[in-house]
Amino acid sequence: MTTAKTVSKDFGFGEDEAMLRDMARRMLSERLPMDRLRKLVAEAPEPVYDKGERAPWDTQLWSEIVALGWTGLAVSEAEGGSDISLAGIAGIVEEVGRHALPSPLIPTLMASLVLRAASGEVAGQLLARIAGGATASLAITNDRGSWEPEHAPLIAREEAGALVLHGDARFVQDAFKADFLIASARLGETFVLCAVETDADGLRLEADHIHDLTRDQASAHFQGVRVSDAAVVSRDAASVLRAAWPGLLVLVSADLCGASERLLQTTVEYAKERVQFDRPIGFFQAVKHPLVDAMVEIDRARSLLYYAAAEIDAGIDKAEIAARMAKSAASDAAAFISDRAIQLHGGIGFTWEYGLHIHFKRNLHNQALFGDGVHQRKKLADLLIGPVSTSPNLGRDPAAT
């Protein structure tokens, strides 16, 4: 990973990747058009919001997705996956975001990237399971919602040749659709990464009540979960997570880009059709210009997304810079078009029934996931400007002394 490597000119998005992306777009627009999505997840607010039922999803569609091999997109061919470029995966995830597909695909891809970074026999077996259709999710976030790999949510103790996990992992994405979790835990001075089946003894998943209608999220309570050696993925969890992090940011950014482009196109279509003052409202520049600005922001995010994906594929050490740029741009672009989409639709956009809120909320969720724009830029500044100086001598203007 240290040799000078170059990013391919087409970001690694060649004919195969284009074909896969186009196929994903066709399939999802056929199987999950807006009215179907609305019926599926947003028929009525009471079940999810009042009763706290988990967001429904189309398990039939999911089994077709598994049959297409999407769970194995980030798994090597040796382990039974398709091993396409990360830009190619980003292209498919954009379609997933565009159609706001409720599914465990993205958490499973995230788990794959972490397992790849871990390497080794245990990780290899889990990757093969994923390529075969198993689903997974990450349990790496603590109660404070910290995005630092060292802030592991769990405590591990060695007991009779096994590890025992205690603690609460928060914000576990699509936990109720996952077969197993990849959990990070502090073990003395080190960090371990373990695979835990979601039906393991001592593990209780508690559904969060969330706004987003296209996923579930859980707090995972570990109350003495035993993990055998055969399920310890890595004894250097922090390094593994740090190595995988840029890829995780790319996946969320891709989802954001796809959903944002959908909101843009939906609003543009509405602005061409809705007539007020004898003109389609898209004639008015207070409508037209913000839509152009949203397009510019989305395009910036998309270009940075493929750039980050290509850098990660090429094993460039500084890929973190590109990935944080992509997540910052994607989060901010999403915030902007989500806002304008509702506003420029007027009253209809504010209704539950119309359904704009589905993508809006998915974006809002993803904007926060793994850190919003401000968080990414704070990390970027440490990389590009250098850490804030802590030396007491630098804290004061030399001219003052």
Partner 1 sequence: MSVELSQDQRAFGEYARRWLKENAPPPPPERLPITPIEVMTIGQRDYLQAWQRKCYDAGLVGADYPKEYGGHGHTGCQRIANQEMNRAGVPFLINIVGLSMAAPTILQHGTEEQKRKFIPGCLSGDEIWCQGFSEPGAGSDLANQRTSAVRDGDEWIINGHKVWTSLGHFARWMILVTRTSKDDKYNGLTYFLCPIEGHPGVRVRPLVKITGETGFNEVFFEDVRVPDANRLDEVGKGWAVAMTTLLSERGASEGAGSGGGRGESAIRDLISLARSTWRNGVLAADDPVTRDAIMQRAIVAEGMRQNAKRARVPALCDHPMRLPLQQKLTGSEFQQGNARLGVEIAGAHSTLYKRDPRAPQAGHWPLAYLNSYGNTIAAGTNEIQRNILGERVLGLPKTK
Which residue ranges make up the site for partner 1 (CB under 8 A)? Answer: 9-11, 13-15, 17-18, 21, 91, 268, 271-272, 279-280, 282-283, 285, 287-289, 291-293, 295-296, 299-304, 306-307, 322, 325, 328-329, 374, 377-378, 380-381, 384-386, 388-389, 394-400
326 and 250 in contact (C-beta within 8 Å)?
yes
Q: Give the Cα separation of 22 and 4 in Å (integer).
A: 33
CB-nearer residue toward partner 1: 221 or 274: 274
Q: How far is the CB of 40 from partner 1 (least distance, A)?
A: 27
Residue 161: count other Cβ atoms within 10 Å of its Cβ.
Answer: 7
Which has the closest alpha carbon to 139: 178, 105, 184? 184
First to last CA, the chain: 47
Closest separation in Å from C-beta 142 to partner 1: 23
217 phi and psi angles, rounded to 5 deg = -145, 145
11 vs 147, which CB is nearer to partner 1? Answer: 11
Kindly state the smallest distance separating residue 394's Cβ from partner 1, in Å.
6
Give least dist CB 332 to partner 1, A. Answer: 9
User: What's CA 274's distance to the chain center, in Å?
Assistant: 34
Closest approach of partner 1 to the CB of residue 300, in Å: 4
Neighbour count for residue 267 (Cβ, 10 Å): 24
Given the complex with partner 1, which of 34 and 295 has the nearer CB atom? 295
Helical spans, DSSP H, in 225-284? 237-273
Q: Which is nearer to partner 1, 176 or 283 (CB)?
A: 283
Task: Please report how close the Cβ of residue 322 comes to partner 1 at its closest, in angstroms.
Answer: 7
For partner 1, the closer CB: 347 or 386: 386
Phi, psi of 77 (to 5 degrees): -60, -40
How far apart are the C-alpha atoms of 175 and 159, rounded to whole Å? 27
Least Å distance, CB 180 to partner 1, is 34
Q: Are 245 and 251 in contact (CB under 8 A)?
A: no
Query: Least distance (Å) from partner 1 to the CB of residue 268?
Result: 5
Q: Rounded to 5 degrees, what angle do the CA atoms 206, 208, 212 make? A: 145
Partners of residue 205 on adjacent β-strands:
220
CB of 40 or CB of 304, closer to partner 1:
304
Going by C-alpha positions, the residue among 298, 300, 312 that lies closest to residue 341 is 298
- Which is nearer to partner 1, 118 or 287 (by Cβ)? 287
In 3D space, the residue among 260, 370, 251 whose CA is nearest the CA of residue 312 turns out to be 251
Pick the closer one to partner 1 by CB: 3 or 285. Answer: 285
**4 CB contacts (<8 Å, ≥6 apart)?**
none
CA distance 270 to 283: 12
Tell me which DSSP letter residue 118 carries: H
Closer to partner 1 by Cβ: residue 9 or 51: 9
* Min separation Cβ 12 and partner 1, Å: 10
Can you tell me the distance from the alpha carbon of 338 to that of 361, in angstroms, rounded to the nearest whole number?
A: 9
